[in-house]
Amino acid sequence: MKIFFVIFINFVCIISANAITLKGKVLERGTKKPLENINVYILPLELSATTNNQGEFEILDVPEGNFKWVVNIPGYIRFEELDDTDDPSSIFYIERFEYKIYETTVTSTQKKRDDSTQTLTQADFLMAPGAGQDPIRAVQNLTGVAQNQSAQVVIQGSNPDDTGYLINQHPVPLVFHFDGLSSVVFPNAVESVDYLSAGYGPEYGRAIGGLIGINTKSPQNDRQHGIAYLDIFNAGVLAEGPLTEDKKQTYLVSLRRSYIGQVLSKVTEDNEDFNFTVAPTYTDLTAIYENKIDEKNIFKLDLVASQDELKFLINKPINDDPKLRGEFFRQTQFFRIIPKYTRKINSHSEMDNSFAFGPDKILLNLNNQKLDINSWNFSTRSEWRNRFNENYKIYLGLDSLFDRRSVFVNLSDVYTQGGVSNPYSTGEIASTDIKSSSQNLGFYLRNEIKISETSPWTFFPGLRFDYFDRIKEGELSPRANLKYQVNDSLFFRLAAGLYYQPPSGRETDKNYGNPELTSPRSSHYTFGWQKDFRGGSSDGVIWNSGIFYKNLDRLVVSSTALTNRDGSQVQENYNNQGTGTIYGLEQSVKWKKNEYRLTLAYTLLKSTREEPSVPKYPSEFDQTHNLNLIGSYERGKWIYSTRLRYVTGNPYTPVESSYYDADNNVYIPLRGEIYSERLGNFVQLDFRIDRKIVYDKMLLYAYLDIQNLSNNKNEQAINYSYDYSQSQPTTGLPIIPIFGVRGEF
pLDDT tens column, 377-391: 999 999 999 999 989
Q: Quote the pLDDT of residue 8.
A: 47
Give the C-alpha separation, 411 to 520, whole Å: 27
Q: Quote the pLDDT of residue 506.
A: 81
Looking at the predicted structure, is the pLDDT value of residue 135 above 60? yes
Looking at the predicted structure, is the pLDDT value of residue 431 above 90? no
Please report, for the domain that includes residue 19, its CATH number. 2.60.40.10
10 Å Cβ neighbour count for 58?
13
Give me the domain span that covers residue 72. Answer: 2-94
Q: Quote the pLDDT of residue 85.
A: 67
Q: Quote the pLDDT of residue 33.
A: 86
Report CA-CA distances (Å) from 231 to 140, 228, 253, 400, 511.
22, 11, 20, 40, 48
Last residue of a domain, one of 44, 63, 94: 94
Q: Quote the pLDDT of residue 375.
A: 93
354 and 287 within one domain = yes
Residue 592: φ, ψ to 5° = -140, 135
pLDDT band at 263 (very low <50, low <70, confident <90, very high): low
103 occurs within a structural domain:
no
pTM here is 0.88
Q: Quote the pLDDT of residue 425.
A: 74
Average pLDDT over residues 186-198: 92
Q: Quote the pLDDT of residue 169.
A: 95
Please report, for the domain that includes residue 207, its CATH number. 2.170.130.10
Looking at the predicted structure, is the pLDDT value of residue 554 above 60? yes
379 and 319 within one domain = yes
Q: Residue 672 contacts by C-beta under 8 Å, 6 or more apart in sequence?
A: 653, 654, 655, 656
Please report, for the domain that includes residue 485, its CATH number. 2.40.170.20
Report CA-CA distances (Å) from 668 to 316, 322, 655.
19, 14, 10
The sign of the torsion formed by the CA atoms of 313, 315, 319, 322 equals positive
198 and 159 within one domain = yes
Single-letter code of the amino acid located at 553: D
Report CA-CA distances (Å) from 341 to 278, 444, 743.
42, 20, 33
Return the higher-pLDDT residue of 120 and 16.
Answer: 120
pLDDT band at 15 (very low <50, low <70, confident <90, very high): very low
CA dihedral 653, 655, 659, 660 (to 10 degrees): 90
* CB-based contacts of 297-300 (< 8 A; 24+ apart in sequence): 297/341, 297/342, 297/343, 297/344, 298/341, 298/342, 299/339, 299/340, 299/341, 299/342, 300/218, 300/339, 300/340, 300/341, 300/342
298 occurs within a structural domain:
yes
Last residue of a domain, one of 184, 216, 248: 216
Looking at the predicted structure, is the pLDDT value of residue 18 above 80? no
272 and 160 within one domain = no
Per DSSP, 217 falls in state P
Give the C-alpha separation, 81 to 295, whole Å: 43
252 and 348 within one domain = yes
- pLDDT tens track for 692-711: 898 988 889 898 988 888 88
For 377-535, where are the alpha helices, taking DSSP H only?
Answer: 505-508
Q: Tell me the residue ranges of DSSP E strands in 612-726.
A: 614-618, 625-635, 638-647, 651-652, 655-661, 666-671, 677-678, 682-694, 699-707, 715-720
206 and 355 within one domain = no
Report the relative pairing of strands 163-167 and 210-216 from DSSP bridges. parallel
Q: Quote the pLDDT of residue 560.
A: 83
104 occurs within a structural domain:
no
Last residue of a domain, one of 182, 216, 250: 216
64 occurs within a structural domain:
yes
Return the higher-pLDDT residue of 420 and 484.
Answer: 484
Q: Quote the pLDDT of residue 697.
A: 87
Give the C-alpha separation, 653 to 10, whole Å: 103
Give the C-alpha separation, 107 to 100, whole Å: 17
Q: Quote the pLDDT of residue 646.
A: 94
Nearest to 207 by CA among 251, 150, 154: 154
CA 435, chain centre distance (Å): 32
Give the C-alpha separation, 665 to 322, whole Å: 8
Q: Quote the pLDDT of residue 153.
A: 85
Contact 138, 120 (CB under 8 A): yes
300 and 158 within one domain = no
128 and 76 within one domain = no
- pLDDT tens track for 315-327: 554 555 555 555 6
Q: Residue 507 contacts by C-beta under 8 Å, 6 or more apart in sequence?
A: 513, 514, 517, 556, 574
111 occurs within a structural domain:
no
148 and 45 within one domain = no
Please report, rounded to a whole number, the percentage of residues in the chain having pLDDT higher than 90. 49
689 occurs within a structural domain:
yes
Residue 3: φ, ψ to 5° = -65, -45
Give the C-alpha separation, 336 to 272, whole Å: 40
Give the C-alpha separation, 500 to 518, whole Å: 10
106 occurs within a structural domain:
no
387 and 318 within one domain = yes
- pLDDT tens track for 459-497: 999 999 999 999 999 999 999 999 999 998 999 999 999
Return the higher-pLDDT residue of 167 and 413.
Answer: 167
State the chain's maximal CA–CA distance in angstroms.
Answer: 130
When mean pLDDT is compared across 37-46, 176-185, 529-538, the lowest value belongs to 176-185
When mean pLDDT is compared across 185-194, 403-412, 608-617, 652-661, the lowest value belongs to 403-412
Looking at the predicted structure, is the pLDDT value of residue 131 above 80? no
Average pLDDT over residues 106-125: 68
- pLDDT tens track for 563-619: 888 778 888 889 999 999 999 999 999 999 988 999 999 999 999 999 988 889 999
- Buried b or exposed e, range 603-632, using 16+ CB within 10 angstroms: bbbbbbbbbeeeeebbbbbbbbebbbbbbb
Please report, rounded to a whole number, the percentage of residues in the chain having pLDDT higher than 70. 89
40 and 80 within one domain = yes
616 and 538 within one domain = yes
Report CA-CA distances (Å) from 294 to 344, 480, 556.
10, 36, 50
Q: Tell me the residue ranges of DSSP E strands in 501-595.
A: 521-532, 540-565, 568-593
610 occurs within a structural domain:
yes
Q: What value does the mean pLDDT of the chain take?
A: 86
Contact 473, 467 (CB under 8 A): yes
Give the C-alpha separation, 185 to 284, whole Å: 6
- pLDDT tens track for 624-648: 999 999 998 988 788 898 999 999 9
What is the total count of domains within the chain?
A: 3
Q: Quote the pLDDT of residue 22.
A: 87
Nearest to 116 by CA among 142, 138, 141, 137: 142
Average pLDDT over residues 175-180: 73
When mean pLDDT is compared across 86-90, 198-202, 548-552, 592-596, the lowest value belongs to 86-90
